[in-house]
Amino acid sequence: MSNEAFDDVTVTKRANVYYDGGVTSRTLVDDGARRTLGIMHPGDYEFETDCEEHLDLYAGRLEVTIDGETTTYEAGDSFIVPANTTFDVSVSDLVDYCCTYE
């Protein structure tokens, strides 16, 4: 993402907390787009998507496995997870991310 900040957003007060706090995020909506800003602590996680997800990493390093193919991403990288997909994430260094739902 090229911008450092979002303007005129609505933020959900309650955090999204997964895996006993290993993954946390806050939901925001700007210009009709739904996003989450979050942190993933080191660990292994499994997620499912309903819609396509675009993830931008601001800090950290992780491996993502989709359909048996594993790819490593780190700060500055972006990737897309297709809709209706189950994927695995292995976080080696604390990850700061933004996920945009399409």
Residue 39: per-residue pLDDT:
98
Return the CATH superfamily for domain 10-101: Jelly Rolls (2.60.120.10)
Identify the band that residue 1 occupies on the pLDDT scale cut at 50, 70 and 90: very low
Tokens representing 55 are 């993830």
Calculate the CA dihedral of residues 28, 75, 54, 8 and round it to 10 degrees: 30
Is pLDDT of 3 > 70?
A: no
pLDDT digits (tens, 9 = 90+) for 9-67: 999 999 999 999 999 999 999 888 899 999 999 999 999 999 999 999 999 999 999 99
Strand segments (E) across the chain: 10-11, 16-18, 23-30, 33-40, 43-48, 53-66, 69-74, 78-81, 86-101
CA torsion 66-69-73-77 (nearest 10°) is: -70
Structural domain boundaries of the chain?
10-101
